[in-house]
Amino acid sequence: MNKTLLINRDGLKVIQINLAKGETLPEHMADADVIVTVVKGRGVFTIKGIAKAITQGDVIDMLPNVLHAVEAQDALEIVVVQMQLAQSSA
Distance CA 57, CA 39 (A): 6
The domain limits of the chain are 2-83
For residue range 57-85, list pLDDT tens digits in order.
Answer: 999 999 999 999 999 999 999 999 999 98
For residue range 17-46, list pLDDT tens digits in order.
Answer: 999 999 999 999 999 999 999 999 999 999
Instruction: Indicate the CATH number for domain 2-83.
Output: 2.60.120.10
pTM: 0.91
Identify the pLDDT of residue 85.
85
Burial class (CB in 10 A: 0-12, 13-18, 19+), 76: buried
